[in-house]
Amino acid sequence: MTSFRFDAQVTAAHFEASGAVFALGDGSVRFEDRTFDAVHDGAVLCAVVHPSGQGLVTGGDDGRVIWSRKGEAGVLATAKGWIDSIDASAESKLIAFSSGRTVSVIDATDMGFRRDFTHERTVSGVAFDPKGRRVAASTYGGAWLWYARIAEQKPTKLAWAGSHTGVVFSPDGAFVITTMQDNQLHGWRLKDAKDLRMGGYPSKTRSLAFLSKGQLLATSGAQGAVLWPFVGANGPMGREASEIGFDDTTLVTHVAARTAHGRLAAGLADGRVWVADPAAQGLNFIKAEKGAPITALALSPDAGRVAWADEDGQAGVADVVIDSL
């Protein structure tokens, strides 16, 4: 394992083309080889891998969206307020970010392109569909869907009472799922806007990840990683969730997975990190010693490496020992 000790809390961990990369609350981006860029005047609030796979795109409380590569950083866009959420599509080469009530879409290959979509309430999360053609925004009262490149349009509004704090599309594009301020998820089947109520959590769900070719959705927010089945046209409707890694002394704070693989990583409130295959038995503890809560977690594209960071600025990158899973 490669270990790091940062002087600021880690906002996000990702894997880009050269390896692991961390975005920090001191405004810096730090690469696995210990190269770093101090890019924001203030904290990094959100981050995503650039559509090219090279480097990290970050949003900060300075209202800037910045693309960082090793030894090079440039401003891609600005907003009037801080950047709350961000997503990118490798398929369409688009980047979406939110600031206040506005979702903005820019093109990584065309600096002159920008679309701004205004909402009735503050936007908490953004996500592209699998083809990168539509962007979903979570907000109070549900989620709004926009065609990313069309300037003048009326959004599709998916309504459900309450505060929605984040959003994802299922890998087949058939469902939209939101996290909520309450201890639950909510979802919609897009072909008929039928609601999916996904509750029973003891705490807020802040982290979602699809795995096993999109057949499972893993979430945080419980004493183990909660797994919802997404097999068939009905997804989890009328079906029970399962749970792996149950430990009644702690909670799962983050999950990480890759859609093409069946491997799942989980970070815990007691500082431990494990990796498991839901189809097999047992957990492989990448970080077995306890400590501060895990605040960032990522799985590499081949599901062979894990990057993690905790509330105190401790971080690490480790290989997954395949033989133990």
Q: What is the pLDDT along the chain (325 residues), one digit of tens a residue?
A: 899 999 999 999 999 999 999 999 999 999 999 999 899 999 999 999 999 999 999 999 999 999 999 889 999 999 999 999 999 999 999 999 999 999 999 999 999 999 999 999 999 999 999 999 999 999 999 999 999 999 999 999 999 999 999 999 999 999 999 999 999 999 999 999 999 989 999 999 999 999 999 999 999 999 999 999 999 888 898 889 999 999 999 999 999 999 999 999 999 999 999 999 988 878 999 999 999 999 999 999 999 999 999 999 999 999 997 544 4
Distance in Å from the first CA to the final CA of the chain: 18
Q: How far is residue 299 from each of residues 59, 109, 192, 259, 288, measured CA to CA in Å?
A: 21, 27, 33, 11, 17
Fold that domain 84-200 belongs to in CATH: Methylamine Dehydrogenase; Chain H (2.130.10)
Torsion of the alpha carbons at 162, 102, 210 and 174, rounded to the nearest 10: 80
| pLDDT of res. 238 | 85
CB 140 within 8 A of CB 121: yes
Of 303, 282, 286, nearest to 294 by C-alpha is: 286
From CA 321, how far away is CA 157, in angstroms rounded? 44
Assess whether the region 84-200 and the region 206-325 belong to the same CATH fold.
yes
Strand order in the sheet with 2-5: 2-5, 314-319, 305-310, 294-299
Ranges of each domain in the chain = 84-200, 206-325
Q: How many angstroms separate the CA atoms of 306 and 246, rounded?
A: 20
Tokens linked to 62: 């300075």
Distance CA 263, CA 61 (A): 34
Cβ–Cβ < 8 Å for 71, 81: no
Residue 304, class by beta-carbon neighbours within 10 Å (0-12 exposed, 13-18 middle, 19+ buried)? middle
162 φ/ψ sector (left φ>0, alpha ψ -120 to 50, else beta): left
Q: How many helices (H) and strands (E) does the chain have?
A: 0, 30
Lookup: tokens for 103: 């979702």
Residue with tokens 């639950």: 184
| CB-CB contact of 195 with 187 (8 Å) | yes
How high is the pLDDT of residue 322?
A: 55
Task: Tell me the CATH number for domain 206-325.
Answer: 2.130.10.10
How many other β-carbons are positioned within 10 Å of the β-carbon of residue 264?
26
- According to DSSP, the β-strands at 123-128 and 110-118 are unpaired
Residue 309 falls in which region: left (phi positive, over 0), alpha (psi -120 to 50) or beta: beta
Query: Counting beta carbons within 10 angstroms of the beta carbon of residue 192, is it exposed (0 to 12), middle (13 to 18) or buried (19 or more)?
Result: exposed
Residue 325 is predicted with a pLDDT of 45
The whole-number pLDDT of residue 324 equals 45
Query: Using CA of residue 204, residue 248, residue 321, residue 35, what is the dihedral sign?
Result: positive
pLDDT at 109 (0 to 100) = 96
